[in-house]
Structures are given as C-alpha cells and as structure tokens.
Amino acid sequence: MTTTAPVRRIEVDGRPATAENLLWPALNHPGHFTAMQVRGGKVRGIGHHLARLDAATRELFGHELDGERVRALIRHILRGDPGIPSVPGAPTDLGGSGHAGNPTAPGGSGHAGNPAAPANPTAPGGSADAIDNASLRIHVHAPAGHPSVMVTVRPPTVLPVALTDRAQSLMSVPYQRPFAHLKLLGGFAQARYGELARRAGFDDALLTGPGGEISEGAVTNIAFYDSTRDGPRIVWPNAPHLAGVTMRLLESRLPAAGLPTRHAPVTLADLPSYTGAFVTNAWGVSPVRRIDSVAYEIDEKVMARVAAVYEDVPWDTV
C-alpha cells in the first residue's frame, strides 16, 4: 500500500513552497507527520489527527501545536482561505537567509503567520482551483526550535470497490520501528523492507520483533479475526505500533456492530490459528489474503461488516 502520486501543492506555514522554505525539511530530518484523505473538504477523525500532531510536537520539540492553526492551514491550501492564526516567537524565515518579511526576496513575502495574509494564488478562495478531494499530509519540523507546518496535497487515493480486489499479501520482516508510537518522518528501514517485499511478489511488509511477534504493517495497522460460536472476534497485536487513526475509529465502533475487539500478543507462529486478517490506514480497510506462506480465505461477510463500520464514520468539517 504505497503511493507515488505527484504532489499538486505544497505550503509551508501557509506560504507557497520555495527553495528557501523547503531547505530545512530537505536537509533536516527530525519531524513527524499525519496523513489523511479529504472528501468534499472534510476529513474522517480530524480530532485524532490534531491530537496526534499536538502530542508528537510536545514530545519532540517541547511546544504545543494549535489545532485551529492546523485546520486553518488545511483550509488555506485546499481553498485559499485567509486567516491563519499567528504563533508568537515562531520563525518567519525557514531558510535562514535573513529575507523574512522582505516582499522582494524569494519566499520572503512576510505572510507566514499573518492573519491578513492573502490567499494562496494557486488556490484562490471560492474559485475553480479549490480542491475538494485529496490525499493530504501535514509535516511538522522545528527550525530554530519552533514548530513549522508543511502541508502537501496529492490526488485522492481510492481503493477498489470490491474487497477481494484490494486484498493484500504481506511478507514478514525482522524490524520494529523505533519510537513506534510516533509517526516519524524518514523511516528508511520500513520503506526499504516494503520495497524488498514488493520485489519478492508481496504487496507490502509486515513488521515483527523478537520471537516473530507482530507489530504492524509497514504503513498500516493489522488486525486478525477468528470464528467462534458467538461470532468473529477481532485481535489487534499489542507489540509496539502506531495507533493509527483508522484503527482507532474502527476499534471504538466495532463492538457495537457485534465485533468485539481486544489487544493481545500475536506471533507468526499463531497465524494458522486465525481465520483471517485485515489492514487499515488512511485509505480505508483491506483484507489480507496471505502472510508469508500462510494463505487466508477472505470471509466476505466479516470483511463487509468491518468495511461498513468504517464507511459509517462521519466526515468532519475542517
């Protein structure tokens, strides 16, 4: 589950991307991000995304990240809405050239953090250039010690309608992400293992720890289910992992749909004892058809119930 879709727009703190304001993200990797799908200008689980960004910013950089500012930056890049809240003490020049506030300098328009800043000329407010549907990422760095927010927009990702057409095959790899509770930038090892999995004929990698304990997919959460007299039960591996937004949205709603969930250790040796599995990320829910040499029959009834729970999650206004 990867994407190579071209970037349509990039803004840094509400300003169009330039060589100057991209210098820090390009040369300094410490940072974190969240990824979401936008439909009709709305996002599922926006509160979870904002909480994730704020918590990671506090942990990594010792500053809070105002959720209303993040919302304003999203609206600005999608629709050109003005009115981005300022952040006292935040840098206005991310390139370090001394051009901050100089309207004649490249990237130095002085509009960063200015509530009166004009709309992005690439996305005039209310015009035909406004974007309603997109794949959107929010990256947070901290040049000069203060959080800086870069927002990127790509075309939306749409999974196949038929669940069987989106089924995934996963290759287990001996790797767990460091600081797994954070969605960190970089991630060479997980990207490399994903590439190796695809070269071997799989769709992606499955990250495991000592003893073959399963953590998560390279870019997904994974859940397993088994069948009992009382119906299927969902098990999420409890080894170190990122608590993904889609996972959280599902986990809180599945019990009401008759699909109880729990967290428990799951190892590669346990795979044959489960009826099936599925993966989740911002794109949605996809069944798993194979992990290494263990093949799963896709239980379309179970998967349809899980997918229906997710489809019923409301879209939040940004």
Dist. CA 94–CA 156, nearest whole Å: 29
pLDDT for position 90: 55
CA 42 to mean position of chain CA atoms = 15
List the chain domain ranges: 9-154, 163-317
The predicted-structure confidence for 218-243, as pLDDT tens digits, reads as follows: 999 999 999 876 789 999 999 999 99
CB 59 within 8 A of CB 182: yes
Backbone angles phi and psi of 306, in degrees to 5: -65, -45
Residue 279 burial by CB count (10 A; 0-12/13-18/19+): exposed, middle or buried? buried
CB 15 within 8 A of CB 111: yes
CB 73 within 8 A of CB 13: yes
Helix, strand, coil percentages, rounded to 5, for the chain: 25, 30, 45
pTM (2 decimals)?
A: 0.85
The CATH number for 9-154, chosen from 3.30.470.10, 1.10.1040.10, 1.20.1580.10, 3.40.50.720, is: 3.30.470.10
Q: What percent of the chain has pLDDT over 90?
A: 75
pLDDT for position 229: 67
How confident is residue 123, by pLDDT bands cut at 50, 70 and 90?
A: very low
The predicted-structure confidence for 276-312, as pLDDT tens digits, reads as follows: 999 999 999 999 999 999 999 999 999 999 999 999 9
How confident is residue 114, by pLDDT bands cut at 50, 70 and 90?
A: very low
Do 163-317 and 9-154 have the same topology in CATH? no
pLDDT for position 129: 86
Averaged pLDDT, 246-263:
96
- The class of domain 163-317 in CATH terms is alpha beta
